[in-house]
């Protein structure tokens, strides 16, 4: 299995209004490093997993919908907790929906989104695709 990983960062504001989140219950900011890894069983005719530039543009477009936003006011998170894990899943599904119609995207076996809150803590969501 081959993989290609692209890294970007974004900043959000949100609250996690449950006792389990301690001081993060209140509104606070977070800066995430997002790593999106694309998996493919065999390289394409150009001997790559997919076009890095095109994939990077898709990731940037997905993250633009979150960057500098208060997720408490974001319609996609209405009534939901915007935990790191939930954000990783959200980004994975959005990227997959955008890339599946791309020539290389149809051949992907899966993708994985890792969100790093800091050097010592991160969450990952893996999504298997049909290829």
pTM of the model: 0.95
Q: What are the structural domains, with CATH classification, of the chain?
A: 2-128 (3.30.479.10)
Distance of CA 88 to the CA centre of its chain: 5
Residue 126 banded pLDDT, cuts 50, 70, 90: very high
Q: How far apart are CA 98 and CA 111, in angstroms?
A: 12
Let me know: does 62 contact 32? Beta carbons within 8 Å: no
Q: Is the pLDDT of residue 25 over 80?
A: yes
Ramachandran assignment for 79, one of left (phi > 0), alpha (psi -120 to 50 degrees), beta (any other): left
Could you report the per-residue pLDDT of 31-78, keeping only the tens digit for each? 999 999 999 999 999 999 999 999 999 999 999 999 999 999 999 999
């Amino acid at each position: 299995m081959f993989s290609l990983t692209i890294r970007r960062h974004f900043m959000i504001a949100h609250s996690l209004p449950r006792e389990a989140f301690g001081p993060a219950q209140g509104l606070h900011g977070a800066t995430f490093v997002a790593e999106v890894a694309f998996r493919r069983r065999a390289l394409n005719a150009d001997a790559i997993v997919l076009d890095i530039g095109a994939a990077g543009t898709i990731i940037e477009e997905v993250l633009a919908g979150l960057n500098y936003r208060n997720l408490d006011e974001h319609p996609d998170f209405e009534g939901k907790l915007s935990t790191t894990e939930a954000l990783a899943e959200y980004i994975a599904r959005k990227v997959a929906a955008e890339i599946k119609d791309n020539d290389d995207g149809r051949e992907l076996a899966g993708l994985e989104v890792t969100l790093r809150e800091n050097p010592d803590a991160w969450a990952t969501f893996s999504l298997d695709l049909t290829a």
